[in-house]
A and B are shown apart, each in its own frame.
Chain A
Amino acid sequence: MTSAAATPSARPGGLSADEIARLLPHRYPFSLLDRVTSVEPGVRAEAIKNVTASDPVLAGHFPGRMLYPGVLLVECVAQLAAVIYGSAAATRSTGELVADVAERVGYLAEIKQAKFLRTVLPGDQVVVRAQAGPRMGDLMSVTGQASVGRDVVMTTRLVVTERDNSE
């Protein structure tokens, strides 16, 4: 699929991989989200992660028994959390959903809970959801889940940080 636009946009209300790359500093092989399907800046977001046999991590996890690592599903939620606060910062500063705000991305501060309910295999399309919770200082609590089809495959509660060098 090609587009004439310099930065192809996802479906209305969503973000393409190129747009996500303006919000996040993550790059190959650690840019995990393929598309954000909906985002409510500062509040919640939903994204797609396609798991493919050509993903380099599956070469080692595990040879002869490819299995998408559960910790990377948690990382998907953490990256989506950065989309939530990044899109809020972009909206505040430019009025647009996307801006070059990747420097705001902080750290994964805490994994409070994570439960892995089903294995995720090559060919699975994972839908990742994240919801921002209460904030204090630069800390933001996040609840997230990943599902494949109708099955929830992972639930988690995290704390992430947002850097704010500008204020």
Chain B
Amino acid sequence: MVATLEETKTAAKARQVLCGEVKHLLVDRLGLAVDPELIGDDQPLFGRGLELDSIDTLELAMAVEEKFGVMITDDDTESLLSLNRLVDYVAGNR
């Protein structure tokens, strides 16, 4: 099935909104000293990206579950590798 232009625009807008929500969640819950608007959609969350560490994964998983009702378990930690992956995971599981 091919999406219409209107449907594509709506989906893109919804994803943009979700990306914004996830960025604000990251900054608020992990106390990051960064403007949420400056976080790139494909920015890695760990290492040279947002410099999260393994201890932050638990807090992030708890925050995502509370805000979006989506559980991240030990088997899903790949979804935390970048912002885009996390947004994909949330969008696909809520």
What is the interface of chain A, defined by CB distance below 8 A to chain B?
109-110, 112, 133-137, 139, 141, 159
Contacts and interface: CB of A to CB of B under 8 A. Distances in A.
Where chain B touches its partner, the secondary structure class is helix
B61 A134 contact: yes
B74 to A, nearest CB: 6
Nearest to B29: A112
A112 B60 CA distance: 13
Contacts of A137: 54, 57, 74
Given A109-B55, A133-B62, A136-B77, 17 more contacts: A110-B55, A134-B61, A134-B62, A136-B57, A136-B58, A136-B61, A136-B72, A136-B73, A136-B74, A137-B54, A137-B57, A139-B55, A139-B57, A139-B58, A141-B58, A141-B62, A159-B59
B65 interface: yes
Contacts of B72: 136
B55 A134 contact: no
Interface in B55-82: 55, 57-59, 61-62, 65, 72-74, 77
Contact of A159 (B55, B65, B73, B74): B55
B37 to A, nearest CB: 25
A159 B74 CA distance: 16
Nearest to B66: A134
B87 to A, nearest CB: 19
A159 B60 CA distance: 13
A109 to B, nearest CB: 5
A67 B83 CA distance: 46
A134 B74 CA distance: 11
A134 B57 contact: no
Contacts of B55: 109-110, 139, 159
9 contacts: A110-B55, A133-B62, A134-B62, A136-B77, A137-B54, A139-B57, A141-B59, A141-B62, A159-B58
A137 B80 CA distance: 14
A133 B72 CA distance: 14
Nearest to A161: B55
Contacts of B77: 136
B30 to A, nearest CB: 10
Contacts of A136: 57-58, 61, 72-74, 77
The 9 A-B pairs at the shortest CB distance, nearest first, are namely A139-B58, A136-B58, A134-B62, A109-B55, A110-B55, A136-B61, A136-B57, A137-B74, A141-B58
Contacts of A139: 54-55, 57-58
